[in-house]
Structure 1
Amino acid sequence: MKVRLCEKNKGKAKVAKRLEEEISELDLKIKKCIDLCNDCSKTRIARVDGKKVVADEVDELVKKITKSTKE
């Protein structure tokens, strides 16, 4: 699974740490830009295998990303 977080994203360090603990086959990178401008600084957001995943809180984002690994 390929996960990209924006360096401007709030909570990115917590999200990255939790994902690395929970998902074994993870290709995680914190990038300067993930092409979701203006959203990154306002909410928790990631690109998961090219798709946009958005949440209000860190826990919710981690759950959504983890759930997508099981689909």
Structure 2
Amino acid sequence: DLMQTASLNGFDTKITGTTGDYSKTAGSHVAVITSGIPRKPGMTREELIGINAGIVKEVTENLVKHSPEVIIIVVS
């Protein structure tokens, strides 16, 4: 939706979504991380944050590798 209305609103923006191939994010100014797993039955919040923190760390490291100046927004 954002890409389809960009020209009408005068935006010169490119939006890329990817899973795993971080080279597609090269040169990004802003990245939004939505990665993580849902809490499973019997799982504590501490266990969940431990797993999700590892996922966010890996994603962040890969984003910064391809876009050193990227601003990262984490949605949880």
Please tell me the TM-score bracket, short chain as reference.
under 0.3
For the pair shown, the structure with the greater C-alpha radius of gyration is: 2
Greater strand content: 1
TM-score, normalised by the number of residues in structure 2: 0.24
Greater helix content: 2
